Amino acid sequence: MQYIRMAQEDREGECIFCTKPREGDDRSSLILHRGERCFIIMNLFPYNTGHLMVSPYRHVGELERLEPAEMEELMRLTVLAVETIKEAMQPQGFNLGMNLGKVSGAGYDEHLHMHVVPRWQGDTNFMPVVAGAKVMPESLEENYSRLREALERLLRREE
C-alpha cells in the first residue's frame, strides 16, 4: 500500500527526476552520484535490492531528444552503476533498460531514465504470487551505504 499511495502522490506532483536533485540531501533523496548532466539514484520501490536508475537532469522523455553529451554521460554512468553494484553486491547478471512512453510501463514517461537491476540465480520467490508482496533482504538505507562505499572505492581507483 505504501508503494501505491506514494506512487500516486508522486505522479500527481512534480517529476521525481527533477525534484530529487534539487532537494540538496543526496542520502535522503537516494542519489548515489551526480555527474555534470546526469545522476545515479536508487529506486525507492526496487524490483530487486540494488535497483538503480540513471537519469539526465534535464526533463526529457524521448531518447532522440537527448543531447550528445547527455547520451554519452547517461551510458558512462550506467557503466559506473553496473560496476558499483558488482563491487558491492556481486550479482550474477543485470537487467538494463528504459520504458519509453506510458504504455511501456514508464511511471515517469516524460523524463527518461535507465534502469540498472542486479540479478541472481533464483532471485524470484513465491511472496509476490502468494501474498502480493516483494521481500527485500536489505533496507534501502543499508543498501545506500553499501553502494555508496563501493562507488567511492571505484572513483578513488580512477583518480
Q: Look at residue 17 and tell me whether its pLDDT is greater than 90.
A: yes
Q: What is the mean pLDDT of residues 54-68?
A: 96
Question: Are 84 and 108 in contact, with CB atoms under 8 Å apart?
Answer: no
Written as one string, the DSSP assignment of 53-93 is EEEESS----GGGS-HHHHHHHHHHHHHHHHHHHHHH--SE
Our answer to whether residue 113 is catalytic in this structure is: yes
What is the structure's pLDDT at 107?
Answer: 79
Look over the chain and give the mean of its residue pLDDT values, rounded to a whole number. 86
Q: Look at residue 6 and tell me whether its pLDDT is greater than 70.
A: no
Helix (H) / strand (E) element for 96: namely strand 93-97
Could you report the per-residue pLDDT of 84-127, keeping only the tens digit for each?
999 999 999 999 999 888 888 777 888 999 999 999 987 765 44
Rg (CA), the chain: 15
pTM of the model: 0.82
Q: Residue 129 — pLDDT band, cuts 50, 70, 90?
A: very low
Q: Which residue has the higher pLDDT, 45 or 12?
A: 45
- Which candidate in 33, 51, 111, 113 is catalytic? 113
Pairing of strands 31-34, 114-119: unpaired
- Output the nine-digit C-alpha cell for 4: 501505491
> What structural domains does the chain harbor?
2-158 (3.30.428.10)
Ranges of H-type helices in the chain? 2-12, 16-22, 26-29, 68-89, 127-130, 140-158
Residue 114, φ and ψ in degrees, nearest 5: -95, 130
Q: What is the mean pLDDT of residues 70-78?
A: 98
